[in-house]
């Protein structure tokens, strides 16, 4: 395995091979095929990727269609008319909400997978924590920060893991990449407009951007609720998440100081509209939209 592979891939492959060893040496299924029933049951029980290699990213045909429809709506959000753009982006989110409400009624209709998003970092900033929170609250995925080893740097760190259906993972990965890139662009524009010479307030501004966008999503959620669209947490997803992470620790953090940079960032975040993919927004996997 290449040294350049993400640590999550390394760990998942190790767990996969250890599951093979356990089935063979502990359970005693020496005559069964390598990926036979005993192996699959063990992987299901422990939340291990039982496929042949790497992190799962395949989608079912039905989920491909819903992702394509969302992609078309986000393409409409390119409209220079701010009201049309807002309506298209809101329709995309409403479509995902209705899709999840309808699918929830069909127990076992989907499988679950996971993905690591963003770069592993030694310190999780407030903007990254707020981004993780809004993904878990509004995009039908479970989120958790998991420890990783940054092999090329020889240092420990953390990376954000998402758990959910493949279609929801595709959307959440896209939103994570889009907001991360957009927030950085907004900071550079703000820095030029007020003629700042340093990046001293960068993290504070980015935290404001993510908080402002989270407030916008919360207002939209209230509107959807008034329309009778209420999504109840997926118990099957929660079970999958708990199998992968049986020991979860909750940590409280102090927020950034709320100075002028935070206020400007929050105002900018409230104006963000999810649009068609930007170059590099979905890293190398390109889940949501065609290149």
Per the CB < 8 A criterion, the answer to whether 197 and 94 are in contact is: no
pLDDT grade for 290, boundaries at 50, 70 and 90: very low
Q: Report the predicted TM-score, pTM, of the whole model to 2 decimal places.
A: 0.77
Distances (CA, A) of 180 to 63, 130, 131, 143, 262: 25, 11, 8, 16, 16
| 138: number of Cβ within 10 Å | 21
Task: State the chain's mean pLDDT as an integer.
Answer: 82
Return phi, psi of residue 145, to 5°: -85, 125
**Least confident stretch, 18-27, 52-61, 228-237, 271-280:** 52-61
Supply 235's token pair. 């118990």
At residue 116, the pLDDT reads: 93
**Region 234-253 average pLDDT:** 87
Residue showing tokens 């390598």:
34
Q: Is the pLDDT of residue 54 over 70?
A: no
pLDDT in tens, 176-205: 999 999 999 999 999 999 999 899 999 999
**Least confident stretch, 38-47, 89-98, 127-136, 218-227:** 38-47
At residue 100, the pLDDT reads: 83
The interaxial angle of helices 260-270 and 202-226, nearest 10 deg, is 40
pLDDT in tens, 5-29: 677 777 777 888 888 888 888 888 8
At residue 159, the pLDDT reads: 94
**CA 17 from centroid of its chain's CA atoms:** 26
pLDDT grade for 43, boundaries at 50, 70 and 90: confident
pLDDT in tens, 111-146: 788 999 998 988 899 999 999 999 999 999 999 999
d(CA 32, CA 41): 13
At residue 12, the pLDDT reads: 77
d(CA 212, CA 81): 21
At residue 264, the pLDDT reads: 97
pLDDT grade for 288, boundaries at 50, 70 and 90: very low
Per the CB < 8 A criterion, the answer to whether 13 and 54 are in contact is: yes
Distances (CA, A) of 181 to 120, 201, 210, 228: 16, 17, 12, 33
Domains of the chain, by residue range, sit at 1-55, 58-270
When computed from its CA atoms, the radius of gyration of the chain, rounded to whole angstroms, is: 20
The residue among 189, 171, 200, 195 whose CA lies nearest residue 265 is: 189
Residue showing tokens 């060893």:
21
CB burial string 14-50: b at 16+ within 10 A, e below? ebbeebeeebeeeeebeeeeebeebbeebbeeebbbb
- What lies within 8 Å, CB to CB, of 57 at 6+ separation is 113, 115, 166, 169, 285, 287
Per the CB < 8 A criterion, the answer to whether 266 and 210 are in contact is: no
**CA 209 from centroid of its chain's CA atoms:** 18
Per the CB < 8 A criterion, the answer to whether 151 and 3 are in contact is: yes
The interaxial angle of helices 202-226 and 126-138, nearest 10 deg, is 10
Is 290 or 251 the better-scoring residue by pLDDT? 251
At residue 256, the pLDDT reads: 65
pLDDT grade for 67, boundaries at 50, 70 and 90: confident
């Amino acid at each position: 395995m290449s040294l350049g592979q993400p640590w999550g891939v390394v760990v998942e492959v190790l767990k996969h091979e250890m599951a093979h060893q356990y089935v063979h040496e502990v359970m005693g299924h020496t005559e069964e095929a390598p990926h036979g029933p005993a192996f699959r049951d063990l992987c299901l029980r422990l939340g291990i990727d039982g496929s042949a290699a790497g992190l799962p990213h395949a989608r079912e045909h039905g989920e491909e269609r819903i992702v394509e429809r969302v992609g078309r709506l986000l393409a409409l959000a390119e409209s220079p008319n701010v009201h049309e753009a807002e309506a298209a982006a809101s329709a995309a989110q409403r479509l995902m909400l209705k899709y999840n409400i309808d699918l929830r009624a069909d127990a076992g209709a989907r499988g679950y997978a996971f993905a690591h998003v963003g770069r592993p970092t030694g310190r999780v900033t407030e903007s990254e924590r707020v981004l993780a929170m809004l993904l878990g609250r509004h995009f039908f995925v479970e989120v958790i920060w998991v420890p990783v080893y940054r092999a090329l740097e020889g240092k420990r760190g953390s990376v954000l893991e998402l758990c959910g259906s493949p279609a929801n993972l595709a959307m959440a990965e896209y939103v994570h990449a889009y907001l991360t890139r957009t927030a950085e662009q907004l900071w550079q524009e703000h820095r030029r407009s007020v003629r700042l010479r340093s990046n001293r307030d960068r993290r504070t501004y980015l935290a404001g951007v993510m908080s402002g966008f989270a407030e916008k999503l919360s207002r939209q959620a209230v509107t959807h609720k008034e329309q009778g669209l209420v999504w109840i947490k997926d118990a099957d997803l929660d079970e999958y998440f708990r199998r992968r992470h049986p020991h979860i620790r909750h940590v409280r953090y102090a927020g950034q100081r709320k100075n002028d940079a935070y206020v400007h960032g929050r105002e900018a975040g409230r104006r963000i509209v999810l649009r068609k993919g930007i170059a590099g927004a979905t890293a190398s996997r390109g889940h949501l939209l065609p290149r």
